[in-house]
Homo-oligomer: A and B are copies of this chain.
Amino acid sequence: MKISGVRIVIVGGGSSYTPELVMGLLEARGLSVDTLTLVDVPAGQEKMDIVADFCRRLIKKAGSAIRLETTYDRKGALAQADFVLTQFRVGGLAARAQDERIPLRYGAVGQETVGAGGFAKALRTIPVALELAKELETVNPNAWLINFTNPSGMVTQALLRHTAIRSIGLCNVPITIARTIAKALAVDPEAVSLDMFGLNHLSFVRGIYVNGQNITSLVLEFLKNPQTAVANIPDQQWNAEVIGALGMVPNPYLQYYWNPGEMVQRQRQEVEAGRGTRADIVMKVEQELFADYRNPEQVTLPEALMRRGGAYYSAVAVMLIESLALNQRQEIIVNVRNGQALPELPEDSVVEVPAMVDGRGAIPLTCGPMPASVRGLIQHVKAYEELTIDAAVTGSRQTALAALMNNPLVPSEEVARYILRDILQEHAAWLPQFA
């Protein structure tokens, strides 16, 4: 891998997220991208063509020399990549809509990444991700696979456990928290450090520093009042007593763990009111987005992207690629093999923690021990994740049931059995390993 002339491959290139990523690469000063290859399945041709054309307009406007290509020859593309970015969606938004609806039937949270919805998505996605990774292992074992595909933590753990490729998982929540704080305090984003730990969508900010100065208690005081949200989940406002008991800033997804009943109620109301689940809303936003992308006059990112819910998604991806490609030493919060970063979790777990990233990869910083106030929940969910990955790989119905019984958002073993039955029936086409 030469430092100049980086070649990037985006698997699921027809995704509505791609233009933002291209924009990020155009803004990356040090990084000199040679080729950007979008890969998708033939069924996604129309979307990929629209995205590619729009991206070429963005590139042109920026006066950049990046070459943008599209292909259906995944293997060929992988063989040439320095970086492979994955953002495919097995079963599309239709399957996601189902993931959200099945649990709701039994009074359980219906969400894309946590709860039984995330479980269903993991069962569908992990085998496909592994197939891709094994292909990469064969044709290009030194490439980096940067995984955005949700549930990002579980998919990355499956990749690191079952293949030899070099993979790092990303999520935009940590950078969103950091940038929100930087913005609020009007300081350089570089000045903010987060002492953050946990799992993807189950993490906690234990310390917040500006130029090394600990401002955690200041932020906690602020948090007890209205605060920032992540677009993918409803606006949350933490209860002041809860924040006081915790002494940490929770990942917005904690809302689901701490108020599942309320979340179920809201989701049901949305569905009953005809507004559908989050998947249905995203489908509408995507229509708007693609209308914008299709418009030949459109040479900037459309405003609707904000509602899509991927704030700073490209920012963190570009930071990561810069560090890896240019041997820049940056501290980035990523999903990596635990080792002993969080000693109360198994070594081969994937965790979401700060890592020192440079040309060698992402080396997690030591960040244990975890406070008792969240340690148990994190351990519980990690056991659920481990069982889920195992079930996704082996197709064992018993392991799948054990996994669901360990998900704190599944209210009983009875509900676990019903949900599992429905998932295996209704997603059968995507779950050949259980056939």
Contacts and interface: CB of A to CB of B under 8 A. Distances in A.
Given A211-B359, A213-B359, A405-B258, A239 B372 contact: no
A340 B338 CA distance: 11
A339 B368 contact: yes
B339 A356 contact: no
B261 A411 contact: yes
B412 A261 contact: yes
A292 B354 CA distance: 48
Contacts of A379: 344, 375-376, 379-380, 383
Q: How many copies does the complex hold?
A: 4
Contacts of A405: 242, 245, 258, 373
Interface stretch (A69-77, A307-315, A395-403): A395-403
Interface string A84-107: 000000000000000000000000
A414 interface: yes
A161 to B, nearest CB: 13
Contact of A259 (B214, B359, B413): B413
Contacts of A260: 411-412
A209 interface: yes
A417 B239 contact: yes
Contacts of A354: 356, 363
Contact of A398 (B245, B366, B406, B411): B245
Interface stretch (A6-14, A274-282, A323-331, A427-435): A323-331
Interface string A276-320: 000000000000000000000000000000000000000000000
A3 B366 contact: no
A387 interface: yes
Most buried by B among A191, A360, A381, A411: A360
A258 to B, nearest CB: 4
Contacts of A375: 379, 383
Nearest to A376: B383
A244 B377 CA distance: 25
A220 to B, nearest CB: 12
A210 B310 CA distance: 35
A83 to B, nearest CB: 13
A253 interface: no
A327 B191 CA distance: 8
A191 B360 CA distance: 11
A341 B339 CA distance: 9
A41 interface: no
Nearest to A341: B366
Given A245-B401, A380-B377, A363 B365 contact: yes
A281 B420 CA distance: 38
Nearest to A3: B211
A358 B262 CA distance: 41
A193 interface: yes
A242 B413 contact: yes
Contacts of A244: 398, 401
Contacts of A398: 241, 244-245, 247
Contact of A364 (B191, B331, B366, B377): B366
Nearest to A342: B340
A376 B401 CA distance: 15
A382 to B, nearest CB: 7
Contacts of A383: 372-373, 375-377, 379
Nearest to A324: B212
A386 interface: yes
Interface string A206-247: 010101111000000000000000000000000101101111
27 contacts: A193-B327, A193-B359, A211-B359, A212-B358, A242-B417, A246-B402, A260-B411, A260-B412, A329-B329, A329-B331, A339-B366, A340-B341, A340-B368, A344-B344, A364-B366, A366-B366, A372-B383, A372-B387, A372-B390, A373-B383, A373-B406, A376-B384, A376-B406, A377-B383, A377-B406, A379-B379, A380-B380
